Amino acid sequence: MTFHPNPIAFWLLALMVIGCALAVVNTKKVFHSGLCLVGCFFGIAGLYALLDSPFMAGLEILVYVGAIAMLILFAIMFTHKMMTPEPGTVFARPWIAAFISLVLFGVLAGCLAYSGFYPDTSQIASTEMDLRQSSSAQSVVLLGNRMLNPFVLPFELASVMILAAMIGSIVLARKEEDQPEPKEN
Amino acid sequence: MELIFEKFVLDITGGAIVIPPWITMLVSLAIVLVFIALNAMFMIWLERKICGRIQRRPGPMLTGSKAMAQFSMWTGGWLQTPCDSFKLIFKEDIIPSRVDRFGFILAPILVFMAALAVYVPMPWSATSYSQPGLTTLAIADLNIGILYIVAIPSLTILSIVTAGWSSNNKYSLLGGLRSGMQMLSYEIPMMFALLGPVVLAGSLSLGDIVKVQSQGFFGIPLAGWFIVPSFIGGLVYFICAIAESNRPPFDMPESEQELVAGFNTEYTAMRFAMFYLAEFSNCFVVSTVFTVVFLGGWSLPYFTPPAALDLGIFTLPYFDLICGVLIFAAKAYAVVLLLMWIRWTYPRLRPDHLMNFCWKFLLPLAIGNLIICTIIAGLQQLYLGGS
């Protein structure tokens, strides 16, 4: 069973992701950058959906668009003189930026190509048959089983880390004891 | 993902015409668009009539014929919302000169996109009650239905915040921020409230959730509706749903005494209508989600309609499908009525009370409900075995 994502949809989504990512660093208003970032996240969610993993697509929208992008937009709204464009943020050193981006791209592509993280299709057919056959219909169930059976320790460790971060943020944001809160009615 | 609609068309034409998927997509899009517009018009009329009834006045009575007004309070002024809609279409579209054009134009588009997209996994009915492997009548019965339903409204929040910011108006900005704050906060107990039924059903698909509910609970048919084992969850979801659709008593974003009209102060004509349509559409959507997840969707205990109804003269095909849609609509509009009743009964909350209520009351309640649901699901599995 081979799996062919629609190439037109892929290229459109790829174009959307790259275009939005470029717009994030190129627009003069910071709020627009935030909006373009949302477009980028949507494109990535579309790519996930195209790769037959709707659960990842849903989580991408829920977590990245719904939480992270909103947090970024809120931060922008609270901090900046919002309507004035920022002249200094646009491509201060274009050649250095291009060089660093290329090096980063090369390193990531090399890692993916040589680490075996990108699996052989024949390998998929033999070892991950269950995942292939059931594809999207059972992917949530499979994901849940994998998380709670072989990968339960990293999963729980991640949750403990998030809990610690949450408690830490509450402790940092809490008001001091000697400042009494204004009395509520 | 399976386009049920496509199969449906194939079934009607007897396989003679094979419809390419993009046509079915366009057709379902058109159906949803028309439905949103008509439904919003109906709901606005209903809202005004109910508001009138609660405040002991007849509501709009003049537009439409005199005979209809004399006939009954409910039929008078039936032409009011179509006329209002036409007025909105023909009004001048004003973009103030100091707004941020990109965001100002983008926001209504985004909010309407979100309102449209939510309808994709909605299970209107079963295509057949009698078959064991019944499929649901939906544009696409996504296997991540619940996740999709809670993920898409984040686009609504985004567009409201964008509208507030790009209007370049203090009231709009405050309205947008308040709305973002409120909707983001209430999303969390809402998700936890929806997780209970997900655990009970063992699936994220809306169609599967309805199917599990139609099977009953320990042999009791009506108790299969998740409002019974997860009553607290239903209550929490209902409250959060009001807050999510920005309706009173949670309409902080547009509390007119403080914020003029909130995030849509600067919007006029069709751009304003987009927000308005989306708001009513979202109100209907949260009611349908409540119906699907807690009230058994298109299922009704002790009732299995035949696949075709023999009327003597001719047989009505797809009778079970039509019954399912009607049951679903009846339940959904009952929830809509409840929402409207609450709207015109309770005064608005203060923002800090609103936040405290969400984080200190609803969230623990929703998590408690999830624990109860997990225990019930475990017991069910223990006694009934399997699944």
Chain segment A102-157, per-residue pLDDT in tens: 999 999 888 877 776 555 555 444 444 444 444 555 667 777 888 888 888 988 99
CA distances from B68 to B47, B60, B276 (A): 19, 12, 27
Taking each helix axis from N to C terminus, what angle separates B363-384 and B231-244, rounded to the nearest 10 degrees? Answer: 140
Cα distance between residue B105 and residue B110, in whole Å: 9
Three-state secondary-structure class, residue A178: coil
Query: Span A43-69, mean pLDDT?
Result: 86
The whole-number pLDDT of residue A163 equals 94
Q: Does B158 contact A70 at a Cβ distance shorter than 8 Å?
A: yes
Residue B297 DSSP code: T
pLDDT tier, A81 (very low <50, low <70, confident <90, very high otherwise): low
Q: Give yes or no for a contact between B307 and B128, defined as CB atoms under 8 angstroms apart.
A: yes
3-class secondary-structure state, position B265: coil
What residues pair up with B136 in beta bridges, in sequence order?
A: B126
**B241 vs chain A: nearest CA distance in angstroms?**
17
Residue type, B55: Q
User: What is the predicted pLDDT for the residue at A177?
Assistant: 64
Q: Kind and range of the H or E element at A14?
A: helix A7-26
Which two tokens mark B72? 């009954």
Q: Any long-range contacts for A160-164 (C-beta under 8 Å, 24+ apart)?
A: none
Tell me what pLDDT residue A129 has.
47
Position A34 pLDDT exceeds 80: yes
Q: Answer whether the bond into residue B249 is a cis peptide, omega within 30°.
A: yes
Look at the pTM and tell me if it is higher than 0.80: yes
Q: Which chain A residues are closer than 8 Å to B102 by Cβ?
A: 32, 35
Q: Pull the structure tokens for residue B334.
A: 């009952």
Quote the tokens at residue B202: 């063992």
Whether B151 and A65 lie within 8 Å, measured CB to CB: yes
Instruction: Give the pLDDT confidence score for residue A126 in this predicted structure.
Output: 44
ipTM (interface predicted TM)? 0.78
Q: What is the DSSP string of A142-171?
A: HHHHHHHTTTHHHHHHHHHHHHHHHHHHHH
Burial track A67-78 (b if 16+ CB lie within 10 A, e otherwise)? eebbebbbebbe
Give chain A positions within 8 Å (CB) of B152: 61
Region A1-21 average pLDDT? 80
CB contacts < 8 A, A to B, total: 76
Residue B115 contacts by C-beta under 8 Å, 6 or more apart in sequence?
A: B36, B156, B277, B278, B281, B282, B285
pLDDT at A120: 53
| Residue in B with minimal Cα distance to A53 | B144
Q: Which pairs from B90-94 meet CB under 8 Å and 24+ separation? A: B91/B268, B91/B269, B91/B270, B92/B268, B92/B269, B93/B268, B93/B269, B93/B270, B93/B271, B94/B268, B94/B269
Query: What local confidence, expressed as pLDDT, does residue A132 receive?
Result: 47
Helix (H) or strand (E) holding B310: strand B309-310
First to last CA, chain B: 23
**In tens digits, what is the pLDDT along chain B, a chain of 387 residues?**
344 555 666 666 666 666 676 777 788 788 888 888 888 888 888 888 888 888 888 878 787 777 777 777 777 778 888 888 888 888 888 888 877 888 888 888 988 888 888 888 888 877 665 554 556 777 777 778 888 888 888 888 888 888 888 887 778 888 888 888 888 888 889 989 999 888 888 888 888 888 888 777 766 767 778 888 888 889 999 998 888 887 777 776 666 666 666 777 778 778 888 888 888 888 899 999 999 888 887 877 777 777 667 777 777 767 777 788 888 899 999 999 998 888 888 887 777 888 888 888 999 999 999 999 899 888 888 877 654
Helices (H), chain B: 4-12, 21-54, 66-71, 80-90, 101-117, 145-151, 153-166, 170-201, 206-214, 231-244, 256-259, 269-294, 319-343, 351-356, 363-384
The pair of structure tokens assigned to B264 is 């849509």
Determine the Cα–Cα distance for residues B203 and B387; give it in Å rounded to an integer.
11
First-residue to last-residue Cα distance in chain A: 66
Say if residue A89's pLDDT is above 70: no
**Rounded to whole angstroms, how far apart are CA atoms A77 and B296?**
42
Contacting B with CB below 8 Å, chain A residues are 29, 31-32, 35, 38, 54-55, 57-59, 61-62, 65-67, 69-70, 73-74, 77, 82-83, 136-137, 139-140, 184
In this model, does residue A17 exceed pLDDT 90? yes
